[in-house]
Structure 1
Amino acid sequence: PCQFQELDCRPSKGLSAAVCKELQAKQKEHKARVAKQQEEASAQQRLTAEQKMTSSISQGCKQVAQYSSAVAQRRALEVLPVATLRERAAANPQKLDSPADELIVQLLHWFKGEFFTWVDTLPCPRCGAGTTNTGMTQPTPEELAWGGSRVEVHTCTECGLDTRFPRYNSPVKLLETRRGRCGEWANCFTLCCIALGYEARWVHDHTDHVWSEVWSEAQQKFVMCDPCEDTYDQPLLYE
């Protein structure tokens, strides 16, 4: 808003009473206009924040709804080495009181060590050199079908080839691609837990991290599970 200099418009300062009254009215009008503009700006900020939160909650609900799909769970079970994981859990290397909890620990180990890959930037598929993230591009219809509304472009530092990196939100698609950052890791891992019969939830921290929580019957609580860190029951890890 424009600035309006307040004047000392008392008649004793050489201004007539009529001029003084007119200036005071203009100053009062200006203050009211500025106050209204500030209130409107504040209201718009509150509305924008509420809209962002509402949108985030809506997207989160759509995200977790995918885990209840029988098709998605069946696809996860086709990929998971269930027998191997149960054998490893039976050995009880973590000395946990609950075999079910031990199985989740083994799932974490397998997921990070043998299944999923972290991606900052993709290697160039043509020459194998490194790439840099040079921005975003429009998704294709196929990418959108799997929730890939955000597509990064990774440009080779040697040959200049551009490689697309869709950030898929479909846990079924992630069972195929097996790569991403914390969002993709937690998304796919949560589906795997539910496919194994656990009650699990997807946790989104707006300070920019995502992980899973799995219900432990033995402990009677949801236990933090971070597949990116291969970490079990360390809720203060991010402090």
Structure 2
Amino acid sequence: MTKIEFEVMIYFQMRILRLFLTSLLVFSLSTYVYFANPGVAAAATLNPTFEVMLPDVNPSTSSDMTFTITNPVDSMKVTTTTISIPAGWIIASGNTFSKEAEIGSGSFTASIYGEETTFYFKVINNADLGVHSNRFTVDFDDPNIDPIDDYIDGDSTTGYTLTLDAPPAEYDFLSLPTTTVFTLKGTVEGRNFLTTPVVQGDYTWIADFTGVDGTHAQDTWTPTIPASLTPEGENVTTTFSDGSSVT
């Protein structure tokens, strides 16, 4: 091998070595970023679910309603949930009932340092409504968790919005997955609180979730209110799905 051939061989070997070391450095940095901050490699997708159980869907009836909101471990935390309730439903104003009347109850389950923990709460009426049609306090049985105020706005002709806030930022030790289950009473203190529409048809409730990064996700529930039976007798009125009626 000549001197020139030897020098050429050394040149290419050094060049290959530099390329190898550069590739190794890039791979090491990429691996560090992935494991140090997996959110950079794969951002969480906001994908909670919303379910409702209504035992009695007949028109113009008052029945308890149970709501279940689940946020899985591969999702992101939710800051606010806004539930749009369609027109036709009737929700009695908060001033219909006494202050501190119990209008519901529920539970909140979260992961705390890898251990599933459930907190129970009561939903208490607050007659100090301000600009809202309803205001209520989520009062936990654990004294270490501060109460949370939630609101209902709107009316039966335009529909309502139920706004649910998440626990404050200081409770960031509450990790996913989370499950919130709460029941609102159909009747409170002998008076109707929640009343189904009088007109038959499909009524879509929309739950809009706001994630910690400001993104939104939605889930829906659509109960079908059946037609009411035609009353017996003379001069009776039957209401149809389009809102019209015949007497």
Do Structure 1 and Structure 2 share a fold, with TM-score over 0.5? no
TM-score by length of 2: 0.31
As a proportion of its length, which structure holds more strand?
2
As a proportion of its length, which structure holds more helix?
1
Q: Specify which structure has the bigger relative contact order, considering alpha-carbon pairs within 8 angstroms and separated by 6 or more residues.
A: 2
TM-score by length of 1: 0.31
